[in-house]
Structure 1
């Protein structure tokens, strides 16, 4: 069950602190969780956890592929490994290990991939991944998620510790726009309908959920009745929800902090082609690499804004 937070607020806690707090609570409760880092202990607020629970936190250094292999080995011993590194490195640098050591072997490893898309900000283009979800969703057994805010992240983490398998969790590290009120719970594989509408459906994930909600408010003032769906599970995508809203509104716009190729837009288009072909547009990154900048600047630069979503909707009317 979900309940929405007031519009326009930021989370009161950073995503990295949600993660560090989760690990600490699990260890204190006797869980066999092992948190693995690739020289990003401070960046992910894990220094205190490592100090208090040194047997449950491993800093493998700047060797991301080795981190994945180490996690796979730990999983074979009955531990519950959670790996964190930046999204760009967890996907591009580690793809063979993700394939061989995790997905092919059906390893029980959770990968927390932070600084997703433009939220890498001043780390620049080398650290900015617009292709990771496309890479990982092509693996046979992967489950691919992009968490929306701190409330969702906390709930999803508490679910994942009880689930077996390879899960990819895409997130930002710092404060996210607050979408959900405390106490909300989430069902993996099911999208959340945040607003009802009859003329167009916006399907978004991650930081683009807040932009989609703002776009919907603007569109409503223009007389365009706009539904908004948070599709936080990219794989397996909620096919029935996509189909139902395609039938209901007849127009779809996807909104993602990712390349328009092989991410949310592609996944939704695949469902529409097979079940209910309707006009659609994709708001996302188009044939570009990242650059240095603030998040606000980068969202404007790459068209990841409410204004871009409104323009996409207008092109369908």
Structure 2
């Protein structure tokens, strides 16, 4: 059996920008002295005249991106999620969100899988922050194929988009030839009748692993990949909930204000259903190897399976 290919979605981000650079002449990429880490350096190498290093000044970078958008450019402002969504929240809200400008925010190194950089860099609040901005699209791709498709979709979308990418290499679960990405439309990765697992980002592959383990114990889990948290595919979420009767959400993000909260909001209005939220439980992360942290915080396939089993039974 061949080994599963793993690619970090931040790598996919840099590659997609470079691929789209020749096709979209108005595409401009900004970075905050992190082009090597965010992988926008790939775009810089191909199109140096369209790459702007704003230095360690993320708030100013968002203002520059807003200005470029008013001239017809399609700017991608890139930094770690903690600095993009966290440090520059006010500028995103007032300079990009309020005038509804065509700015794309490429936020890499999201969640606890940042690893050894520790709690100050492990942004588990960014989805919650970006969801609150009116008109902001929030996307968290699950793998390389989905991440590259998401970048292209963001370019073609008119309006602000927040894209969440990870540092850790994750399994490629989609076939590029057949995969279709659409903003606001979830993907059923696995059918099942006993419980629905709704996941986003790196937790999608872990949820699929959990579903396999659950199947061996007689629990048939449906797995839904919600790559777009806002706008949420409420129809798919409600239909899955009605079909299985129980829902579990899984995210590498706080259980407050993220995917789980979005799903609960939708279900409370459309299909009241028992929900278990799996994520970071109102706590900060810590320094350590990414894989060890994912296990400690209960986001690996084995841990997800145990929690789902207890919830179903």
Equivalent residue for 2:282?
Answer: 287
Q: Aligned-pair distance for 1:165?
A: 0.5
Pick from 30, 33, 36: which aligns with 2:30?
A: 36
- 8 A contact 2:8–2:143 mirrored in 1: no
Deviations 1:99-155 (A, max 9, x none): 101110111000011111012111111101111100110111101110111111111
Q: Distance in 1 between matches of 2:243 and 2:96?
A: 39
Q: Distance in 2 between matches of 1:17 and 1:117?
A: 16
- 8 A contact 1:36–1:71 mirrored in 2: yes
Equivalent residue for 2:41?
Answer: 47
Alignment of 1:195-214 (within 5 A): 195-214=190-209
SS of corresponding position for 2:120 = helix
- 8 A contact 1:253–1:312 mirrored in 2: no
- Whether 1:298 and 2:293 are equivalent positions in the alignment is yes
Equivalent residue for 1:266?
Answer: 261
Please, which runs of 5 or more residues in structure 2 have no aligned partner?
A: none
Q: Alpha carbons of 1:282 and 1:174: their partners in 2 closer, same or farther (altered >3 Å)? A: closer
Q: Alpha carbons of 1:227 and 1:72: their partners in 2 closer, same or farther (altered >3 Å)? A: same
Equivalent residue for 1:235?
Answer: 230
| TM-score (normalised: structure 1) | 0.94
SS of corresponding position for 2:5 = coil
| TM-score (normalised: structure 2) | 0.95
Q: Aligned-pair distance for 1:229?
A: 0.2
Alignment of 1:136-151 (within 5 A): 136-151=130-145
Equivalent residue for 1:19?
Answer: 13
- 8 A contact 2:153–2:183 mirrored in 1: no
Moved more, 293-302 or 198-207: 293-302
Q: Distance in 2 between matches of 1:305 and 1:53?
A: 39
Equivalent residue for 2:92?
Answer: 98
Deviations 1:75-118 (A, max 9, x none): 01111101110011111111111110111011100001111101
Q: Distance in 2 between matches of 1:50 and 1:179?
A: 29
Q: Aligned-pair distance for 1:316?
A: 3.0
- Whether 1:316 and 2:312 are equivalent positions in the alignment is yes
- 8 A contact 1:146–1:171 mirrored in 2: yes
Pick from 92, 108, 112: which aligns with 2:106?
A: 112
- 8 A contact 1:280–1:316 mirrored in 2: no
- 8 A contact 1:8–1:178 mirrored in 2: no
Equivalent residue for 2:212?
Answer: 217
Q: Distance in 2 between matches of 1:25 and 1:209?
A: 25
Pick from 139, 153, 175: which aligns with 2:169?
A: 175
Q: Alpha carbons of 1:7 and 1:308: their partners in 2 closer, same or farther (altered >3 Å)? A: farther
Q: Distance in 2 between matches of 1:283 and 1:19?
A: 26
Deviations 1:135-187 (A, max 9, x none): 11011110111011111111111222222100001111452221111221211
Q: Distance in 1 between matches of 2:263 and 2:82?
A: 23
Please, which runs of 5 or more residues in structure 1 have no aligned partner?
A: 1-5
SS of corresponding position for 1:228 = strand
Equivalent residue for 1:82?
Answer: 76
Q: Aligned-pair distance for 1:271?
A: 1.2
- 8 A contact 1:279–1:316 mirrored in 2: no
Q: Distance in 1 between matches of 2:265 and 2:222?
A: 20
